[in-house]
Structures are given as structure tokens and as C-alpha cells.
Amino acid sequence: MNPKAYFILMFTLLVSSGLMAQKQDYDESLANSLGGDEFGMRTYVMAILLSGDRVADYSQVERQEIQKGHMANISQLSEEGTLILAGPFIAGDEKRGIFIFAVDSLEEAEKLTQRDPAVKAGVLKMQLIQWYGSAALMQVPEIHQKIQKIDF
């Protein structure tokens, strides 16, 4: 094969393989609006909710009131766009649940957790860790509003 034809063939293969590597249904505008990088991912802070040291200090009625405040705080954080995902663990042991915050730093997440009445009361404590996950999670609160029939 002559060198010029070989070069053209290799160049064509190289360019076409590069074009195939980029997904054809990629939506740059959506990725940018969700804070996604070139992989469609972004940084979050995950909070593992743990039983606090002061659970036994409160009566059942007091714990119910603290829980109401905790749920109201979850709703508020979701409305603000900082809490993307929340829910309890089923097992019911020391690990109580999870929050995923759409914030860049552990310090920002720490400030948000300190607003929670259950954390303030010592009924819950939170272990924070940065997490790299799909930027699509940013759409969960909006979708959840469409499928939630009853408020907590």
C-alpha cells in the first residue's frame, strides 16, 4: 500500500473511532444544568445517619416531635435544592438512613446537618463523606414530587 493511501486510511479510522466514542444522544445543555462533567458525573456529599448518643434521654412523645422536625428539615433542604436524596435504612440498627447533599464540601454539608432538629437533640449524628455519582440524581426531587401521593 502506498504511504499516502495508508495515511488516509489510518486518519479516517482514527477520526471515525473518535466520533463513535462520543455518545450520540449526549445533551450538553442538560449535563451543564445538572453540574455534570464529561462522564455525566458530579461530586456530592453523602451523610450516613447514625443513632445519636441521647436517644434514651427523650420520651416516645418527645422523639415523635423531634422526628416531625427532622422530616420538616428534610423537606426544607429538598426545596432549597441542597438535599437530593434521603431515606431510612430498613435494618433499623445503628445506621438509620442516608442523605445525599448537592454541595461541594464536607464543611457545607456539616452546616446543613447541624440544622436538623434530630442532630441538635443528639438523637441522630451524621458521618459525612464526599461521593462521585451520576449528575442525573439532581433530577430525583422533581421526579419524586410527581410520584409522591402523600406527604410525610
Chain segment 20-40, per-residue pLDDT in tens: 566 678 999 999 999 999 999
Residue 44 placed within a domain: yes
Kindly state whether residue 117 falls inside one of the protein's structural domains: yes
- pTM score, two decimals? 0.81
100 within some domain: yes
- Counting the structural domains of the chain, the total is 1
The answer to whether position 138 is within a domain reads: yes
- Can you give the pLDDT at residue 151? 84
CATH of the domain at 87: 3.30.70.1060
Q: Which amino acid is at 63?
A: R
Task: Check whether 10 has a pLDDT greater than 60.
Answer: no
Q: What is the pLDDT of residues 74-91, one digit of tens each?
A: 999 999 999 999 999 998
Backbone φ and ψ for 106, nearest 5 degrees, come out as -65, -35
Domain annotation covers residue 41: yes
Instruction: Classify residue 81: in a domain, yes or no.
Output: yes
Query: Of 66, 61, 59, 51, nearest to 121 (Cα)?
Result: 66
| 8 A C-beta contact, residue 68 and residue 152 | no
Domain span including residue 139 = 37-147
Question: What is the C-alpha separation between 130 and 96, in angstroms, rounded?
Answer: 19
CA-derived radius of gyration, the chain: 23
Tell me whether residue 50 is in a domain.
yes
C-alpha cell at 6: 495508508
Asked, for residue 102, whether it belongs to a domain, the answer is yes
Per cent of the chain over pLDDT 90 is 80
